Amino acid sequence: MLGYPQTIAPPRRRRQTLRARATNRDSLLRRFDWVLFVAALALSVAGAVFVYSATRGVSAGEDPQAYLKRHLLNLVIGLGLGFATMLFDYRTLRAYAPFVYIASVIGLVAVVIVGTEVNGAQAWIQFPGGFSIQPSEFMKVALAVGLAMLLAERRDGETEPQLPDVAFALLIAAIPIGLVMLQPDLGTAVVMGMIVLGILAVAGTRLSWLAGLLALGALGAVVAVQVGVLDEYQIDRLLAFANSELDPQGVGYNTNQARIAVGSGRVFGGGLFQGTQTGGEFVPEQQTDFIFTVVAEELGFVGSAGLLLLFGVLIWRAMRIAMRAEDLFGTLMATGIVCWFTFQMFENIGMVIGMMPVTGVPLPFVSYGGTSMFANWMAIGLLENVHLRRSVR
């Protein structure tokens, strides 16, 4: 009988070796944050179901599964981008952060010049074959990485960022926020502002400076309304938020139909794919901005609470990663992502139930949208990246 060469293990021994490596405490499988990954994946898969429910009633001759197929394709691409981001050591991103930021700003400039207008906002770049991207979604990732890099640098003896550091960080943030406002996309601009504020706070910025920033932001919002920076439809949305009875068949139509859908779900909902508001297509943009109405109408309070629980788990794990990061750069980058996901979830669900004005931001992982899905999973990849590098000893 021929023996195996000493350099090649027999098949059984090789299988045992692979199993031992996979279960070793330093292996990728053991160090991977499975809870974070499963929560994000569950939200994405649930989103596919809700997107299909919102779009299955298409006209004759159209594919009722078209949005579902594209959502699943976006998810597969997003997973690939997330894993690629995870494997690239985040600590080397300091050197590449300026290039990531500049590339994202160039994308926003391109939107202003050659972008396609959809629903009043010129926020997309259209490519041949029906493919489009929304650069502002990638800018959220770039902003979290770029500001973390700037504010993680400490001079000898410093425990908090100094005024020049804060001023430079605000300048770096003001450029993309200003470009997004030109689209105009108020919702994304506010999400970016929350990323900036969260990173500054965790970096140790003085409370008086943070309070001043909040006051300046409120003043800027008033000035924007007064001088006409916002489009008329955005001002109408703010007025409809302030007065829910204002023009129910016009500017208040979306929010009124959304509340009807949410209220009709009651405790357990009308059943998956059984929603009357959803089936009748009474809620505009239901597969994107108003996807939560599908959850509330068809699965009721119980289903909505389950979805919120998944978000709670995801945000808890992200906060845990931020607190346990080995360096300030990892902590600040993870903090920016936490602020991004938390506020965008709150804003999206809040506008559906009437707690926030309609600003047109998607529900992370759940709403239909390719660029949003890609950026969300890249953020998950960064979180896993920070977690994995902390575990290496």
CA distance 28 to 236: 51
Mean pLDDT for the stretch of residues 188-213: 91
Burial of 377 (0-12, 13-18, 19+ CB in 10 A): buried
pLDDT at 1: 45
Extract the tokens encoding 126.
């259209």
Question: What type of residue is 47?
Answer: G
Query: What backbone torsions phi and psi does residue 228 show, to the nearest 5 degrees?
Result: 85, 25
- pLDDT(29) > 90: no
Q: In which band, very low, low, confident or very high, does the pLDDT at 163 lie, cut at 50, 70 and 90?
A: confident
- Residue from 291, 263, 260 nearest 53 by CA: 291
> Which residues, in sequence order, are CB contacts of 386 under 8 Å at separation 6+?
90, 321, 322, 325, 330, 333, 334
**CA-to-CA separations, 340 to 30, 189, 191, 346, in angstroms, rounded:** 27, 11, 6, 10
Asked if pLDDT for residue 209 goes beyond 50, the answer is yes
Q: What is the pLDDT of residues 167-185, one digit of tens each?
A: 999 999 999 999 998 887 8
The mean pLDDT value of the chain amounts to 84
| First CA to last CA distance, the chain | 44
High-pLDDT (> 90) share of the chain, %? 45
- Nearest partner of 114 among 105, 102, 129, 126, judged by Cα: 126
Q: How many residues in total does the chain contain?
A: 393
Q: Which of 65-69, 188-192, 374-378 has the highest mean pLDDT?
A: 374-378
Tell me which range, 117-126, 192-201, 210-219, 244-253, is most confidently predicted by mean pLDDT. 192-201
Question: CA-CA distance, 137 to 126, in Å (whole number)?
Answer: 15
Q: Give the whole-number percent of the chain exceeding pLDDT 70.
A: 81
pLDDT > 80? residue 288: yes
Q: Which of 61, 33, 50, 144 is nearest to 97 (CA)?
A: 144
Q: What is the mean pLDDT of residues 198-204?
A: 93
Cα angle 316, 159, 337; round to 5: 25
Task: Provide the pLDDT for residue 148.
Answer: 93
